[in-house]
Structure 1
Amino acid sequence: MKDTAQETINKIYDSLTRAERQLAGVILENYPMSGMGSITRLADKASVSTPTVARMVQKLGYSGFPEFQEALRQEVEARFSNPIAKHESWAQSAPEAHILNRFTDAVMSNIRQTLANIDPSQFDALAGLLADENRALYITGGRITHALSEYLHLHMQVIRARVRHIRSTSNAWPHDLLDICEGDVVLIYDIRRYENSTLRLAEIAKRRGAKIALITDQWQSPISQYADVSLKCRIEAPSAWDSTVSMMLLSETLIAAVQEARWDQTEDRMRALEDMFDQTKIFRKFV
């Protein structure tokens, strides 16, 4: 699967000229809509020449500006396609192999591409924010990704104190933001179709001084404009629904990284929790 223009820009950014970096900033500012106008309009907005735009899109792997725009249009369509539309698109080109193999191949490809495109320094930065108990940690997700947010919240509660789960689909989520202080962390899962309530939550939390951490898809949630750290996962699969397997892998890796960074404190918390489990007899013991 070909990288998006956004991913390619991020990969080659250090090799760009000053004018090309200026253009890249304009493209990324409101991506992908920023590139949907004419080539002269984009050049004027970036204060560069039209030949600079033409050279830039060729560096991104496109034959010219029209092909670049067509790729952006396809991204816009992919971002907002509903489950029925996604299924119809898949069914038209479905290979003959069994669904078990096709789905697994797609998921494995998602994992490989997700790992290839994640900057380890960004991952480490996010793990560092999650491990910092001086910062309260708020975790939330959307209609589909709330399950991931609950999973991460459950583990983070064991690893460290001051962790809260926000149900973004509830009308009560503004109540959760009342206690946010400057420097606290709000981790948000958001994939297509991006939800207005989650975007508003991020906007308000940012205004209150929170650090916004985003785990999103390859098309990147609008929340990215507020994010201090953003990690993108591939989610396409031969189904009417997207696959969150790569996001789960990333979540479990974050859990492992934070646990390792705080092991001395986490071990004490785990022992205390196990003692409570023994007292309440929640789990059966076969000894």
Structure 2
Amino acid sequence: MPTIAEKLKSRELDLTRAERQLSAAILENYPIPGLGSITELADLAEVSTPTVARMVQKLGFSGYPEFQHALREELREIISNPVEKRAEHAPALPESHMLNRYAVGVYDNIRATLENVTLAEFDALCDLLADTDRRVHIAGGRLSGTLAQTFYLHLQMIRRDVFMIPPRASWAHSVLDLLPGDTLILFDVRRYENATLLLAEMAHERGVDVVLFTDQWRSPIQKLAKYTFAARIAVPSAWDSGVALLLLVESMIAKIQEDHWETVKARTDELEKAFDRTRLFRKFT
């Protein structure tokens, strides 16, 4: 089932001005604003309580209590640890092989992720990342750092001035080099790391454009992000899947490479000469 955040984003054009204002208030610190009373949410968004009630029904809920219950369930999923996730999935797992069950979960994640991608934003980010007048910095969390590293290695082969920000112990040095107009790509999935949020805040204060890759519940970094790409991550496992996020990353790499092939080819030719001199790869001659 789609999250409430996904429903709000997909129905954005169908909402009235007041409802869009309400939607923005909910998404800014999602899902916390919707956990209070209907009056508190209305006051926060500076709209009327009937506006809240109407939008809740537009999203398919019978009323505010059902909407709030759904948000509480999402919050429970967001903060769950690997042991809790395993216990949740175990009783309902079918008897078929794990490979098949996992593949079905990944397929569903990819499908749901693609349904919520805005192609205009996808293309706009690719154009931004291809602009060599703007430097690019990339960082991830404890596990999502592997996705960040993948993005960095490919993008660095495509263009110059791409930098990987090191782990928290030494990333303060990298903050010194963040300049207005730079782009910072961050990966942050549940349980959302405080260090990644702090890095986003410090970068934003320095005039850097923040780009967020996150999950269906959306990291709090989204309130600072110029672009947010939310992918489905839940699978029948104690750990989350990064396949849908990897699909977005690799698709962006492919588009930038295709759109700027002549430049990419020249850079790749130089790189291959360096590989030959260093004898990095085995020669079959």
The bucket for the TM-score relative to the shorter chain is over 0.9
> Distance in 1 between the 2:141 and 2:24 partners?
29
> What is residue 151 of structure 1 aligned with on the other side?
150
1:189 aligned partner, one-letter code: F
> Distance in 1 between the 2:121 and 2:153 partners?
23
Contact 1:127 1:258 in 2 (8 A): yes
> What aligned pairs does 1:207-226 form with structure 2 within 5 A after superposition?
207-226=205-224
User: CA shift at 1:141, angstroms?
Assistant: 0.5
CA RMSD of aligned residues (A): 1.2
Sort the Cα spacing of 1:66 and 1:256 in 2 relative to 1 into closer, same or farther, 3 A.
same
Contact 1:125 1:229 in 2 (8 A): no
> What is residue 227 of structure 1 aligned with on the other side?
225
> Distance in 1 between the 2:21 and 2:165 partners?
38
Is 1:45 aligned with 2:44?
yes
> What is residue 13 of structure 1 aligned with on the other side?
12
Sort the Cα spacing of 1:149 and 1:47 in 2 relative to 1 into closer, same or farther, 3 A.
closer
> What aligned pairs does 1:234-249 form with structure 2 within 5 A after superposition?
234-249=232-247
Contact 1:181 1:208 in 2 (8 A): yes
Moved more, 100-109 or 123-132: 123-132
Q: Which of 244, 267, 270 is matched with 2:268 structurally?
A: 270
The unaligned stretches of length 5 or more in structure 2 are: none
> What is residue 254 of structure 2 aligned with on the other side?
256
Cα-to-partner distance string for 1:82-121 (whole Å, 9 max, x where unaligned)? 1111110011221222111100000000011111110001
User: CA shift at 1:56, angstroms?
Assistant: 1.0
1:48 aligned partner, one-letter code: V
Cα-to-partner distance string for 1:204-258 (whole Å, 9 max, x where unaligned)? 0111111101110000011111101110100001100000011111111111111
What secondary structure sits across from 1:88 in the alignment? helix
Sort the Cα spacing of 1:180 and 1:45 in 2 relative to 1 into closer, same or farther, 3 A.
closer
> What is residue 197 of structure 1 aligned with on the other side?
195
> What aligned pairs does 1:165-204 form with structure 2 within 5 A after superposition?
165-167=164-166, 169-204=167-202
Moved more, 274-283 or 57-66: 274-283
TM-score, structure 2 length as denominator? 0.97
> What is residue 87 of structure 2 aligned with on the other side?
88
Is 1:140 aligned with 2:143?
no
What secondary structure sits across from 2:62 in the alignment? coil
Query: How many residues end up aligned between the 2 structures?
Result: 285
1:37 aligned partner, one-letter code: G
Sort the Cα spacing of 1:62 and 1:159 in 2 relative to 1 into closer, same or farther, 3 A.
same
> What aligned pairs does 1:50-69 form with structure 2 within 5 A after superposition?
50-69=49-68
Cα-to-partner distance string for 1:158-195 (whole Å, 9 max, x where unaligned)? 1000011012x331101012111111011011101110
> What is residue 76 of structure 1 aligned with on the other side?
75
TM-score, structure 1 length as denominator? 0.96
User: CA shift at 1:53, angstroms?
Assistant: 1.6
> Distance in 2 between the 1:205 and 1:34 partners?
25
What secondary structure sits across from 2:185 in the alignment? strand
> What is residue 109 of structure 1 aligned with on the other side?
108
What secondary structure sits across from 1:171 in the alignment? helix
> Distance in 1 between the 2:244 and 2:180 partners?
31
> Distance in 2 between the 1:150 and 1:8 partners?
31
1:155 aligned partner, one-letter code: H
> Distance in 1 between the 2:274 and 2:39 partners?
67
